[in-house]
Structure 1
Amino acid sequence: MPRGLQMVAIAIGLVVIGALLFYIWRQSRVLSEDRQRKRKTEEFQAQRRDGMIESLRIIALAVEEDQVEYSEACLRIKGLLEHVAPELLERPPFQVFQTVHDRISHMPTHRARKVTDPETIEAMDEERFAVEKEFAEQIREAAIALRHQRID
């Protein structure tokens, strides 16, 4: 093989090697960025979950100290438990949160409540208070248990 042709082949080989090295470097950067993005997402989700668990404990404490209406607490606790430990909603004593939620979830809240007829609101409040009274002891027991429940 003539010397000139050898040099062209070597030059082409070096260009291919350079292109492959650039491709490998770029792919490793992309993988590194993906790993970093995934780690940040996992950290965010863990912080969010920890915040929800802390909220559960605060609401449960508020129930224990009668600082919140039981119906409101049940709605909030049920919503949070659905995200962090949905299996608890099926087990005693925590299933009372699901039961109360199911009994009062048809009632309007927030803006919908403001635009609802006052007589309807009054009737629904009576129904809600009756549900709270019926399940008051179970709600308190579940709140106490929830505060001491380990949620992984």
Structure 2
Amino acid sequence: MTEANFPVWVWFAIALGSVIIVGLAFYAGRLLAQLKAQNQRRDQALAKRNENLHESIVTIAKAMEQRQCPLSEGALRLVVLLDLRVESTQAGYAKKYPSLHDMYERIKHMPTHEARKQYPKAEIRKMDNEREGYEKELENVILQDVRQLLKDFA
């Protein structure tokens, strides 16, 4: 059977199949372009978020280094902010800054803000004394971690 002997319906089916294939290819191309644009927007948003986190981390670390922020409060904030960074799982911040994480682990159970108001003053005083004791105990090593963090984030 030669090309000239194909019935009309075969030529019609080939043409229809070609149109469908071209249409699907066009649709797939549009979907890929949309996906690429979506990924770019996501990457830009993550970069902006990391930039804001970076700025906050540096600001808190500088405040701790200059004694404008209590070490315990700074450690709480820094550990949370470091954990929010995109690369936090691969970066191993707990190993890089062990004293900050140690302080965090010691005081994370203590209530803050409005939750503190629900406790009797004697209980709050007891927790504050405990926290301040940890600050005195870990002061030098926390400040070493803070200085290292500032070097790493410079």
- Do the two structures share a fold, i.e. TM-score over 0.5? yes
Tell me what 2:73 maps to.
72
Tell me what 2:98 maps to.
95
Write the mapping of 1:117-128 to structure 2, written as runs, cut at 5 A: 117-128=120-131
Distance 1:99 1:8 in 2: 78
Letter in 1 for 2:115: A
Partners of 2:54 and 2:153 within 8 A in 1: no
Tell me what 2:21 maps to.
20
Letter in 1 for 2:131: R
Letter in 2 for 1:31: L
Letter in 2 for 1:51: N
User: Which range moved further: 25-34 or 45-54?
Assistant: 45-54
Write the mapping of 1:2-151 to structure 2, written as runs, cut at 5 A: 6-84=7-85, 85=88, 86-91=91-96, 94-150=97-153
After superposition, the C-alpha distances for 1:29-52 in whole angstroms (9 at most, x for unaligned) are: 111111211121122112212222
User: Which range moved further: 101-110 or 138-147?
Assistant: 138-147
Gaps of 5+ in 2: none
TM-score (norm 2): 0.83
Distance 1:87 1:14 in 2: 59
Q: Secondary structure at the match of 2:38?
A: helix
Distance 1:66 1:87 in 2: 26
After superposition, the C-alpha distances for 1:52-80 in whole angstroms (9 at most, x for unaligned) are: 22221111101112111110100111122
Distance 1:146 1:136 in 2: 15
User: Which range moved further: 75-84 or 122-131?
Assistant: 75-84
Partners of 1:63 and 1:143 within 8 A in 2: yes
Distance 1:51 1:29 in 2: 33
Gaps of 5+ in 1: none
RMSD of aligned alpha carbons:
2.2
Partners of 1:97 and 1:139 within 8 A in 2: yes
After superposition, the C-alpha distances for 1:89-147 in whole angstroms (9 at most, x for unaligned) are: 214xx211011111111111122112222221111111111111111222222212211
Letter in 2 for 1:60: A
Percent identical across equivalent pairs? Answer: 26
Shift of 1:150: 4.5
User: Which range moved further: 113-122 or 18-27?
Assistant: 113-122
TM-score (norm 1): 0.84
